[in-house]
A and B are shown apart, each in its own frame.
Chain A
């Protein structure tokens, strides 16, 4: 079995230590970092993402797979920079002001990283101004907002307004998601994309970044 397939399969099983060892071995064998990333780590995360979307795996499988991916990616990071490999896009993500729930936000972040996107994690309780300022300063193509509570989802509308006020709506797309959020709400506040699960959010972000 190719070592890249082994990396992918162990990542899908969430075997972080094994993935780390295999990535190091692949590097030592002279396989380019970009190949290890795309055909090993990201290939494995793509499988997990699709299975998650189809309810074939659950949150724990995603969390352990993402941990395995991160452990492998840590080895590759300096090598990718040296090879001049660019990410497929840049997103800033956070849970909106007043809301400290971050499991959903973290799942989306993991899935996006699994698609090769660079994700700036703003954490929880993020103000509209912080999203917009980060998008400007870091040149992000997408702002991604998460909320778990009906009482905090209203902040998403403020993010849209802040982005409009800053004059960045023509170049920065706004994605929203979370338990109480719906497509109707997305349309109502003028955000660009709503997705109902983390894997679909990652797919949508890739599409937005490639436009």
Chain B
């Protein structure tokens, strides 16, 4: 049985010989820690990205079967993106830059986290009509049929590969910042914000449709949103539903017409208030289910929605920084969740600095012993 068969069988409540050992990649800082500790060669840290050759080498060293986050998308962002420009260099070395989304960010030397949002271009109707709307149109060049035909011939057959559907709100949040989104939506021009969402979503739908029309085959489809935080959504659920639900439904119905019935969504934070909107509109797989940082859980969603709710994730990755006993506790929890069916354990996000190489090997080896 291949890992692809194992994974897809489990998500369809069919038989599998064992659980696959699945992961969701690494923080780069961790890979360099492992290089310094002599655990992995430097070439792996230099060459790693999701789905890379370096990753396949690292999978072998650790004992992983595959990285779940193996998706293929299209040029479904702003086209062209804004020119990346350094606007200012401050006295402490901080650079104020305009990124490809038209967001002005501050990037501090030495800081490892994402840049902080400083300002944004998408402030009013004029900016939308002149700067953004032309960049949000579907043109055939966004989807090169030759690429997808080549993909069909060469894609790995032993692991699942997904179609990346983009994002309904998360990408727009990246253009406006959370602050700008809030101002537009609640005080300045609600109608404009809805136009932005509709325009962008229509383009992303057409991209997905064009890819599927090439005959490219996928095992699952996937969204990225990151629209929640520690205490819940970054937007009121009723407004989110009004703005976004129809777009999820349209894209998910398209996928199902092409036989893709596993549709996942990656959203940081506590997602329980938005989960019903996603589920009722066709997203049926929680991934990566962040237990460690956000306290997110799979079981309540399964209890609420039944077997139609699938999961990939849910393993508290922080245990991999502790000791064998902590990992054993997580494995036992994963064994219990796996018995529910339709669930594949996976560390609940990128493995972070401080993660112990031997514990990851131990976890990967142990998870394969779970019989399904």
Contacts and interface: CB of A to CB of B under 8 A. Distances in A.
A34 to B, nearest CB: 27
B110 interface: yes
Interface string A152-164: 1000000000000
A197 interface: yes
A63 B236 contact: no
Interface in B279-311: 292-294
A71 B233 CA distance: 26
Contact of B115 (A57, A100, A148): A100
Nearest to B234: A59
A60 interface: yes
Contacts of A196: 230-231
Interface stretch (B122-130, B174-182, B202-210, B248-256): B174-182
Interface residues of B, number: 37
- Chain A interface extent, by class: 20 to 34
B108 interface: yes
Interface in B218-247: 229-236
A125 interface: yes
Interface string B170-190: 000000001101110111000
B159 to A, nearest CB: 29
A49 to B, nearest CB: 13
B342 to A, nearest CB: 28
Which of A100, A125, A148 has the most B CB atoms < 10 Å from its CB? A100
A30 to B, nearest CB: 29
B29 A99 contact: no
Nearest to A58: B236
Contacts of B106: 100, 124
A77 interface: no
B187 A64 contact: yes
B181 A150 contact: no
B230 A61 contact: no
A16 B179 CA distance: 14
Contact of A150 (B108, B117, B232, B293): B293
A58 B237 CA distance: 9
A39 B66 CA distance: 60
A98 B229 CA distance: 20
A151 B229 contact: no
Contacts of A60: 178, 181-182, 185-186, 234-236
Given A57-B236, A98-B112, A151 B182 contact: no
B121 to A, nearest CB: 19
A151 B235 contact: no
Nearest to A16: B187
B234 A14 contact: no
Nearest to A147: B113
Interface string B94-118: 0000000000001010111111110
A104 B111 contact: no
A95 B232 CA distance: 20
B294 A61 contact: no
Interface of A: 14-16, 55, 57-61, 63-64, 67-68, 98-104, 124-125, 148-152, 178-180, 196-197
Given A14-B187, A98-B110, 9 more contacts: A59-B233, A63-B179, A63-B183, A64-B187, A99-B113, A102-B116, A104-B230, A151-B112, A151-B352
